[in-house]
């Protein structure tokens, strides 16, 4: 197949090893939500923007698995904490055969982190794409939190734009007496 980034032929990968080395080595960018919770992200938006557009396609399944392996998995293997923590993906509903946020979450599995699935579900799935902060605020996600035992949580999503969704997601968990350690996203739109 052809590498999505350089268009050279790659035998087994949608993105060739050379491009993975050159373009997809994760960094660590930080931002705070309005409730003070820190959001860590791995890539500049412009670096992976075309890859994110594969979401909900067959190709997206492979691309998200690759990005998850290069960033989330690597992070999880280096992450140390005194207690066992859970990782929860924002709205890991299956669309077109898979959930892109569940793929990211699954990659966090380690001796410290237990990924939990179907725990944070949006009742309002209206698209926020290209919408203002005011629109997002006027149409909250209204998350349902399903019970799980861990108290300390890492919240996972693919992208942070205005931060409205992650703010609402973390507040929903805090109301259920959970403690948020931080959020993890692939990319932060404000880091260009
Ligand atoms: Zn390439």
Tens digit of pLDDT for each residue in 36-92?
999 999 999 998 999 999 988 889 999 999 999 999 999 999 999 999 999 999 989
Q: Hey, what are 140's tokens?
A: 């909250």
Task: For domain 24-188, say whether CATH 3.40.1340 is its number.
Answer: no
Between the CA of 63 and the centroid of ligand 1 the distance, in Å, is 13
Residue 91: the pLDDT is 87
Between the CA of 26 and the centroid of ligand 1 the distance, in Å, is 17
DSSP assignment, residue 5? T
Between the CA of 1 and the centroid of ligand 1 the distance, in Å, is 11
Q: Hey, what are 24's tokens?
A: 């997809």
- What confidence tens digit (pLDDT) does each residue in 153-181 have? 999 999 999 999 999 999 999 999 999 99
Q: Hey, what are 143's tokens?
A: 């998350």
**Three-state SS at 108:** coil
Between the CA of 136 and the centroid of ligand 1 the distance, in Å, is 37
Between the CA of 50 and the centroid of ligand 1 the distance, in Å, is 14
DSSP assignment, residue 95? B
- What confidence tens digit (pLDDT) does each residue in 123-163 have? 888 888 888 889 988 998 899 999 999 999 999 999 999 99
Decide if 159 contacts 187 (C-beta within 8 A). Answer: yes
Decide if 86 contacts 152 (C-beta within 8 A). Answer: yes
- What confidence tens digit (pLDDT) does each residue in 19-35 have? 999 999 999 999 999 99
3-class SS letters over 112-170: CEEEECCCEEECCCCCCCCCCHHHHHHCCCCEEECCCCCCEEEEEEEEECCCHHHHHHH
Between the CA of 31 and the centroid of ligand 1 the distance, in Å, is 30
Closest residue by Cα to residue 181 from 81, 100, 105: 81
Show me where the domains of the chain are located: 24-188
Residue 94: the pLDDT is 87
Asked if residue 192 has pLDDT above 70, the reply is no
- The continuous run of DSSP H or E covering 21 comes out as helix 17-23
């Amino acid at each position: 197949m052809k590498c999505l980034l350089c268009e050279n032929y790659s035998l087994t990968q949608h993105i060739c090893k050379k491009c993975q080395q050159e373009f997809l080595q994760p960094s660590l960018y930080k931002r705070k939500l309005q409730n003070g919770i820190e959001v860590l992200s791995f890539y500049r938006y412009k670096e992976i923007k075309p890859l994110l557009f594969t979401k909900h396609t067959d190709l997206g399944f492979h691309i998200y698995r690759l990005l998850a392996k290069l960033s989330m998995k690597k992070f999880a293997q280096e992450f140390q904490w005194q207690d066992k923590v859970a990782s929860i993906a924002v709205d890991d509903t299956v669309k077109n055969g898979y959930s892109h946020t569940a793929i990211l979450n699954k990659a966090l599995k380690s001796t410290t982190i237990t990924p939990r699935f179907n725990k944070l579900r949006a009742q309002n799935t209206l698209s926020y794409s290209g919408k203002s902060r005011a629109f997002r605020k006027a149409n909250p996600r209204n998350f349902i939190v399903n019970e799980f035992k861990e108290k300390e949580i890492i919240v996972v999503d693919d992208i942070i734009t205005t931060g409205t969704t992650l703010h609402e997601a973390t507040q929903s968990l805090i109301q259920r007496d959970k403690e948020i350690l931080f959020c993890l996203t692939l990319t932060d739109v404000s880091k260009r």
